[in-house]
Structure 1
Amino acid sequence: MAEEVDAEHEKWQKLNLGSKVKYVISNITVEPLLAFFIVSSVLGNLTTQNLNLQKSCRVNLNMSDAICTALEQRNKTNYSIDQEAKVQELVTDMTMWQSVIQHTIPCIFVIFVGSWSDRTRKRKPVLLLPIFGELVRVLGLLVCVFYFYELPMEIAGLVESVPGSLTGGWMIMFMGVFTYISDVTTVKMRTLRIGVLNLSLTIGISFGIALSGILYQKLGFYGIYSICSTLYFMGILYGFFCLKDIKNNDTPAVCEDSKFVKNSSFSTNVKEFFDLIHIKNAFRVTFKRGNDNRRLRILMMMVVLMIIMGPMTGEMSVMYLSTRIRFNWDEVDYSMFSTFTMVTGFIGTSISLWIFNHKLKMDDALIAAMACVSKVIGSFVFAFAPNTYIFYLGPVVEIIHGAGSIATRSIFTKLVTPEELGQVSAVVGVFEAFVPMIYVPMYSAFYKATMKTFPGAYFLLGGGLTIPAVFIFLWMHKGNKEREAREIENNKSEIVQKNSELTNDTIKIPKLYETSEKNNYENSGFKSD
């Protein structure tokens, strides 16, 4: 197996650029499915934020049509900052309890799904379930638009939260995607493949964001939600007919140990699926002791994953609202900036992967540390930007920030075996679930308290919270270097020992003979006593 891994990696190294592109295209698996999911999710996100703002203004607060229309059109002459703040305060309050609903159930559900996926080696249902939930969510939002004045903002908030929560949403989708990729790639190719997946993710998000503002102004709620539902349906078709679960030599053994039997009843399978022993096993497998502080390293990686994702999640939850107040942006202005941010991040991630990882062979932990430093510096630019032009410099300053999550996930896959990956990913998913549950309410409350005095203050909060990750990654890098040095020393010792054994086996010491003959004559000088 190791020879096959090295052969594939060596084959990749010898390919030219054109051949590498063909290789990547020919190995496409989950990328289209993820694209359908991501584009439609992002495309509808800005529309849903506007739906909440409109319902807050027109239905819950019952403001006049003139004021609400002025807020939509960003016509400052017909509304005051206080009126904008009241509308936003209502939305941010709803965002707090929404984040709890959206992530509490997946936090528990992801463990059962990950354990079941490992035991049965089935990844495809894990990928299809979140898309089905998102399709139900979009259809429900269409109903909320149709009954606009009859259904208040809170009902739309529940429709937005519950279906995705019950089916896992982004959390289950990403767990399924990364475990599937790990099944079909070798260890040496995994960083590159995960990088390609993240780049395709970036493209999908950029594409969805770029079109979201313009399409919303042109097509409105009905047009956007119709497009989203179509994309989700196409994703379900692609996943059902084009994706195949990976079978390997371990599958029969795994299936034998599993209590899942084809002829067993539905209730038996459901009972087995939700067996609490799987939660215990998932945490036991994840935090079991191993060589080189395995448990501590996994725990530290979970912490830094939360640190990296937290500010990003929190900032995204309030950024659109803050730019409306700071720069009087509308949905098109925000979508243009978001597109620029994603494209810049795409370029930075590509450079960091190609140069730092592929060419310079830098350690994943060191790349992640550099990414966190760029995030900390960029937070000051975002927070104190006096105008739009300076605000646009923020993504340039933190251009390699996206490499942090890629490197972290790559480190995770290298700390565990393929048989443990699903359960470990499930526990990681639990930690990820706590990110929006903690950071979204935190950022919403922080923004609500500072929106009138310093609406960019939440960026400084994110920069400060990211600093500990830098030191953790540097600690990881130091440990990796020490392990590499020990391995080199051990390899040298093994080589010396083998050479010594080889020398002893091949060089024979002549025995002392009773008599030695030379030219058929006795040589008394070689006689023994």
Structure 2
Amino acid sequence: MAWNKYVTVEVPLFLCMFSIMIQTNVSTNFLIYRTCYVLLDYDQSECALLGKVENETTASLEKKVQPTFNYINMVSSVMHYLIPLVFCMYVGTWSDKFGRKPFLLLCIIGLTLTNMTAMIMVFFENASPWLFVIRFIPLLTTGSSVTLMIVTSAYLTDISTPDTIVIRMAVYEITLGLATFLGNLISSYLLYATNYKTVYILVTLLAGFAFVYTFFFIPESIKGEKEPPKLKNLLKYINLKDIGKKTFKKRPNNGRGYLLAILGITVFQTFSMGEISVQTLYLRAKLNWTLTKITTTSSVTSVGNILCSMGGTYVLYKVLKIKEFKLVLFSILALSASSILRGLATKDKDYLIYIASAIGTFNGIPGIMIRTIISYLVPREEIGKIFALQNIIYNINTILSDLSFQALYNATLETNSGIFYYVSAAINCLAAVGTLLLLNVKIPVYPEAAKESEEPEKEFKKISINRNNFEALSIDEKRNSNDIALSISTITE
């Protein structure tokens, strides 16, 4: 089959991400609905209007139901980031050794079982919303959607040549963006045109078809003999002690202190992202937005985030030659302004949400630039370990920030439910202060990277790179290559 040479993991990637985005949006509405009449004993017909109708009854009911739902959401947040932590960190190394396909199939099986469990539970109309939290266990124990993206991007790298890598990576980005956009866009329309049962049957079939396609039509990309992926073989590739040593070891020109300062900025900046965990609840309770309005806005915003992060990086960094920390500072201040505008929004001024979304479209730039700066500080063979620690920090930080913002939202729901946005803005401002201080300090470039940056300029052909291999390029290559495509993750669960 000739087409199979050109269309490979893009098919299961699209089907899985499309499935995830549909059920993520619908599940929030479903759990609020079940919490309303199963746990809190409100009238089921009135509960069914939540997220669908804008009136005084639903506005009042949202504020009564959301605190209880938020406790369920807290538990779900901890599970989402804690359980898959180790798997996500090491699946790249494991798949290098044992092959891509086993881990790709494993992740799709986890998603299929998760969707199937939810589908079954929907048919029991009085089942507690707490039972729906455990449906994620199959997906989370196989690494969640992060594993899916790691393995599929590695697979495409394996099968690409220098002549085809640009096209493949472009198609990869389009696939992710299209799945996110369409999943956000149609989820509410699909729900209100059918029902919850139909939606969960559909997402289960999508994941099931992704498994069938992968099993029968996608060959293994790692050639040669491979060890079977047994548990004892997986565990021997985990070395957290080595990761810690590489991060905290002494470096030339006070590189260790500089690196730790950057990681500190990352902690503040990512902690502010806890606002995302209660954003949908805020829009429903304070502005009385329907699910359709929320998902439509989210779908447009997700596309804007990708385009602005990619385009902004190219124009600001490569064309205008703006330094890394200046871009980080610009992006963080923009995010602060975006949070403040969201906090000021009211029913009569909900246009502020659209303005805030436009201002915050450069939210992918801080992560890209910080990872770039780190690549200047350490030798190439240590970059993977530093980024592994960054992943650990991010996941733990996300758990703490989600719990903190959800608790704050519950405590202020009846007074000023948007106060968490001001807290987020303040935290981003602290990150901005740290960034401003480092602006006046010369980056202690690792000698190897400094040597590379002093080489004569070369003429580079078009290249396509993602976050993982972007850090491996020299400073000169990063600023002077003619074309660049960056891999930006927009999936939240």
Q: Give TM-score, length-normalised by structure 2.
A: 0.76
Q: Could you tell me how far 1:137 is from its partner in structure 2? A: 0.9
Cα deviations by residue, 1:19-55 (Å, 9 ceiling, x for unpaired): xxxxxxx999765554333322111111101110111
CA 1:490–1:407 in 2, change beyond 3 Å: closer, same or farther?
Answer: closer
Are 2:113 and 1:136 equivalent residues in the alignment?
A: yes
1:451 to 1:197, Cα distance in 2 relative to 1, 3 A: farther
The AA in structure 2 aligned to 1:372 is I
3-state DSSP of counterpart to 2:80: helix
CA distance in 2, matches of 1:428, 1:27: 34
Deviations 1:462-514 (A, max 9, x none): 2122223334445666556664999489959xxxxxxxxxxxxxxxxxxxxxx
The yes-or-no answer on 1:68 pairing with 2:72 is no
The equivalent residue for 2:207 is 232
Pairing partner for 2:131 from 138, 148, 155: 155
The structure 2 residue matched to 1:341, chosen from 301, 311, 321, is 301
- What is the identity, as a one-letter code, of the residue corresponding to 2:311? I
The one of 314, 329, 333 aligned to 2:289: 329
- Structure 1 position 384, deviation (Å): 0.4
SS in 2 for 1:317: helix
The code of the aligned residue for 1:132 comes to I
1:89-238 to 2 correspondences below 5 Å? 89-117=67-95, 120=97, 122-149=99-126, 151-159=127-135, 161-176=136-151, 201-237=176-212
Amino acid in the other structure paired with 1:279: L
Q: Give the 3 Å change call, closer, same or farther, for CA 158–414 of structure 1 in structure 2.
A: farther
SS at match of 1:328: coil
Letter in 1 for 2:201: S
- 1:379 is the counterpart of 2:356: no
Q: 1:334: Cα distance to partner? A: 0.7
Secondary structure class of the residue paired with 2:288: coil
Which has more radius of gyration?
1
Corresponding letter in the other structure for 2:426? G
User: What is the CA–CA distance in structure 1 between the aligned matches of 2:197 and 2:211, rounded to whole Å?
Assistant: 21
Distance in 2, Cα, partners of 1:305 & 1:183? 31
8 A contact 1:194–1:406 mirrored in 2: no
Query: Offset of 1:70 from its aligned partner?
Result: 3.9
Question: Displacement of 1:459 after TM fit?
Answer: 1.4
CA distance in structure 2 between the aligned counterparts of 1:415 and 1:244, rounded to whole angstroms: 36
Cα distance change, pair 183–406 in 1 and its aligned pair in 2 (3 A): farther
Superposition pairs of residues 303-314 of structure 1, within 5 angstroms: 303-312=264-273, 314=274
C-alpha distance in 1, partners of 2:121/2:372?
A: 41
Q: Aligned to 2:362, what secondary structure does the other structure show?
A: coil
Report if the CA contact (8 A) 2:85-2:395 is conserved: yes
Q: Secondary structure at 1:392's aligned position in 2?
A: helix
Amino acid at match of 2:392: V
- Whether the aligned pair in 2 keeps the contact of 1:37 and 1:232 (CA below 8 Å) is yes
* Alignment correspondent of 2:241: 280
Residues 211-260 of structure 1 show CA distances to partners (whole Å, capped at 9, x for unaligned) of 1111121132223223322332344455554475457xxxx9xx9xxxx8
Matched-pair contact (CA < 8 Å) for 1:121–1:245: no
Change (3 A) 1:481 1:405: closer
Q: Is the 8 A contact 1:110 1:426 kept in 2?
A: no
Indicate whether 1:457 and 2:419 are aligned.
Answer: yes
Judge which range, 337-346 or 168-177, deviates more: 168-177
Q: CA RMSD, aligned part only? A: 4.0
Q: Distance in 1 between matches of 2:250 and 2:171?
A: 32
Q: Report the equivalent of 2:24.
A: 45
SS in 2 for 1:329: coil
**In 2 relative to 1, CA 43–293 (structure 1 residues): closer, same or farther, beyond 3 Å?**
farther
- Counterpart for residue 469 of structure 2: none
Gaps of 5+ in 2: 456-493
Residue 63 of structure 1 deviates from its aligned partner by: 1.4
Match of 1:445 in 2: 407
Distance in 1, Cα, partners of 2:391 & 2:187: 28
Please tell me the residue identity of whatever aligns with 1:158.
I
Q: 1:311 to 1:481 in 2, by over 3 A?
A: closer
- List per-residue Cα deviations over 1:379-431 (Å, max 9, x = no partner): 11111023222221111222322322333445556666676565554433322
Distance 1:80 1:115, change over 3 A: closer
Whether contact under 8 Å (2:90, 2:238) holds in the other structure is no
Structure 1's 197 and 275: CA in aligned 2 closer, same or farther, altered over 3 A? same
Higher helix proportion = 1
**Distance (Å, rounded) in 2 between the aligned partners of 1:44 and 1:464:** 33
Determine which of 377, 388, 397 is the counterpart of 1:435: 397
Q: Which runs of 5+ in 1 are unaligned?
A: 1-25, 493-529
Question: Matches of residues 340-489 of structure 1 in structure 2 within 5 Å?
Answer: 340-386=300-346, 387-411=349-373, 423-474=385-436, 483=445, 487=450
Retained in 2: the 8 A contact 1:115–1:282?
A: no
Aligned counterparts of 2:397 and 2:265: Cα–Cα separation in 1: 11
The sequence identity of aligned pairs, in percent, is: 23
